[in-house]
């Protein structure tokens, strides 16, 4: 069967004409300059290398590692009722809807326009003194229009992919918002535990001060004490009462903050009991930590999708240097005389069908400017990704360094409390046997309570550092590593797409 050679010739001719005309505007000299860091080549540091390595990773509900049922229940309420998470979810829905708007440009468009008007025709140089001059008649039209962008250079396809990438950015940012909420809630909960511990120390201090006052009063009644001893024993009591009242205020404010984080009223926070936190074992780290972070941390996932989206933006800008070829068509009717429905008659039918070409020849630098801006946006996204990756490694290493140091501080703080307690007990025993006066007892008390307070602060700091490590690892928010492929992170040249031979 003889094949028609003209379709191939027509396509070649079209390509030659387009290449010749589009040479008037070129994109030479405009390209991205930033380069993404290779996570596999980054040195994680000695703190990470010395950490325990295992295939395990923090679970999605990482806060359960603290073993506090009240924290687990409160976190569930926060995730379900937090306004910040609801806002993030709404942004995801908006991004998906906007992606649908962009994708619609790839599909054929059909529009129906109808116009029914009663019109009086004038007599002038434009209309002429014809049959319609100085008459009134119906001027009705209808048109069912059709248009389809052939997208030969993939501009609309790149725009659609860019919109989908932006949707993935919104999804990752929603996960990041959830992680930030979880981190803020756990930190506030740890602060509440510390405030209760500080209150215990203050109340213990008050009890011992009252005991010393009672002993001083007894000594005065026995005739072996003085009012100076009573005055000295009474002196610290008002300040200790003030400290306890201030701690009660801090506890109430922290409860209000926890209630707000959970999307509840302050009354819900009043029902919070004293935290019972216990987290001893550090989470195991994977052997290839930087590569794991790329898929686990929501901020890194969002940065990678942002780089992919900006790479698509470069493709869109480059496709702007080539012509648009659209297929246009329509079928309708037109009637300027007769009845109101005469425009629906067959003899009033009209139609059109054919291609439309739009070719940039000279635009005063518009498209070069758009491409330059797209390349700069890509560079910004790449550098932000690099900065996020470096910051993620720093956060993990810093948390490990702090945890190691705080474990040592915890041991030393316990030894300091034991030594201060022993000194206090010996001073009190010597006073009871009449070997020393109250001065020795009074001097040992502040040191003991200060050491006890420092011990609680170190414990709270250790709990916070462990939370920071879990958060730096991504908090287990993503069950599996996800993110755009490396191929989608680099800008590509637009591809010519011709219709297949019939």
- Per residue in 422-463, pLDDT (tens digit) is 988 888 888 777 777 666 777 777 888 899 999 999 999 999
Does residue 22 surpass a pLDDT of 80? no
- Per residue in 259-270, pLDDT (tens digit) is 999 999 998 899
Burial label, 3 (beta-carbon count in 10 A; 0-12, 13-18, 19+):
exposed
pTM of this prediction exceeds 0.75: yes
Does residue 237 surpass a pLDDT of 80? yes
Q: pLDDT-derived band of residue 498, with 50, 70 and 90 as boundaries?
A: very low
Lowest mean pLDDT among 35-49, 413-427, 482-496: 482-496
Which CATH fold would you assign to the domain 108-149+324-358? Outer membrane efflux proteins (OEP) (2.20.200)
Burial label, 192 (beta-carbon count in 10 A; 0-12, 13-18, 19+):
buried
State the Cα angle at 80 between 76 and 82, rounded to 5°.
Answer: 105
Does residue 245 surpass a pLDDT of 50? yes
- Per residue in 371-408, pLDDT (tens digit) is 999 999 999 999 999 999 999 889 988 988 998 899 99
- Alpha helices of 104-236 — where are they, by DSSP H? 155-221, 227-234
Q: What is the pLDDT of residue 497?
A: 45
Report the 10 Å Cβ neighbour count for 289: 22
Q: Tell which wins on pLDDT, 45 or 62.
A: 62
> 270 — phi, psi (to 5°)?
-65, -20
Q: What is the pLDDT of residue 6?
A: 46
List the chain domain ranges. Answer: 28-106+156-321+366-489, 108-149+324-358
- Per residue in 273-313, pLDDT (tens digit) is 999 988 766 666 666 677 777 778 899 999 999 999 999 99
- Per residue in 110-157, pLDDT (tens digit) is 999 988 888 887 877 665 657 777 788 888 888 899 999 988 888 899
Question: In the chain, what is the greatest distance between 2 CA atoms, to the nearest angstrom?
Answer: 135
Q: pLDDT-derived band of residue 502, with 50, 70 and 90 as boundaries?
A: very low
Say how far apart CA 120 and CA 114 lie, in whole Å: 19
Q: Which CATH number fits domain 28-106+156-321+366-489: 1.20.1600.10, 2.70.70.10, 2.60.120.260, 1.10.760.10?
A: 1.20.1600.10
Lowest mean pLDDT among 39-48, 212-221, 234-243, 278-287: 278-287
């Amino acid at each position: 069967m003889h094949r028609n050679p003209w379709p191939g010739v027509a396509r070649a001719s079209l390509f030659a004409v387009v290449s010749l005309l589009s040479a008037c505007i070129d994109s030479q000299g405009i390209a991205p300059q930033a380069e993404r860091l290779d996570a596999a080549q980054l040195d994680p540091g000695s703190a990470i290398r010395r950490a325990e390595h295992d295939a395990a990773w923090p679970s999605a509900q990482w806060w359960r590692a603290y073993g506090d049922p009240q924290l687990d229940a409160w976190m569930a309420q926060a995730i379900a009722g937090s306004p910040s998470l609801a806002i993030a979810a709404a942004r995801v829905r908006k991004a998906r809807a906007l992606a649908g708007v962009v994708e619609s440009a790839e599909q054929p468009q059909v529009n129906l326009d109808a116009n029914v008007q009663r019109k009086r025709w004038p007599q002038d140089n434009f209309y002429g003194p014809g049959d319609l001059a100085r008459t009134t008649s119906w001027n009705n039209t209808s048109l069912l229009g059709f248009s389809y962008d052939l997208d030969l250079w993939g501009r609309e396809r790149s725009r659609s992919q860019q919109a989908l990438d932006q949707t993935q950015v919104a999804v990752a940012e929603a996960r990041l918002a959830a992680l930030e909420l979880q981190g803020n809630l756990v930190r506030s909960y740890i602060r509440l535990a510390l405030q209760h511990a500080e209150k215990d120390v203050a109340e213990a201090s008050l009890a011992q001060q009252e005991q010393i006052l009672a002993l001083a009063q007894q000594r005065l009644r026995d005739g072996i004490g003085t009012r100076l001893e009573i005055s000295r024993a009474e002196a610290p009591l008002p300040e200790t009462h003030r400290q306890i009242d201030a701690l009660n205020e801090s506890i109430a404010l922290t409860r209000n903050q926890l209630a707000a984080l959970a999307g509840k009223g302050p009354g819900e926070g009043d029902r919070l009991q004293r935290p019972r936190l216990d987290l001893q074992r550090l989470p195991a780290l994977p052997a290839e930590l930087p590569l794991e972070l790329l898929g686990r941390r929501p901020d890194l996932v969002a940065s990678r999708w942002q780089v992919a989206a900006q790479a698509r933006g470069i493709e869109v800008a480059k496709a702007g240097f080539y012509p648009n070829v659209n297929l246009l068509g329509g079928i309708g009717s037109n009637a300027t005389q007769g009845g109101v429905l005469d425009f629906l008659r067959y003899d009033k039918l009209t139609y059109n069908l054919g291609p439309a070409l739009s070719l940039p020849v000279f635009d005063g630098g518009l498209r070069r400017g758009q491409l330059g801006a797209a390349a700069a946006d890509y560079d910004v996204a790449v550098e932000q990704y690099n900065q996020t990756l470096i910051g993620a490694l720093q956060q993990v290493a810093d948390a490990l360094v702090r945890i190691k140091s705080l474990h040592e501080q915890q041991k030393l703080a316990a030894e300091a409390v034991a030594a201060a307690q022993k000194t206090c007990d010996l001073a009190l025993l010597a006073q009871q046997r009449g070997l020393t006066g109250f001065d020795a007892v009074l001097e040992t008390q502040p040191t003991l309570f200060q050491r006890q307070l420092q011990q609680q602060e170190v414990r709270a700091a250790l709990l916070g550092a462990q939370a920071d490590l879990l958060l730096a690892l991504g908090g287990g928010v993503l069950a599996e590593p996800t993110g755009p492929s490396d191929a989608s992170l680099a800008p590509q040249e637009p591809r010519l797409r011709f219709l297949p031979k019939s």
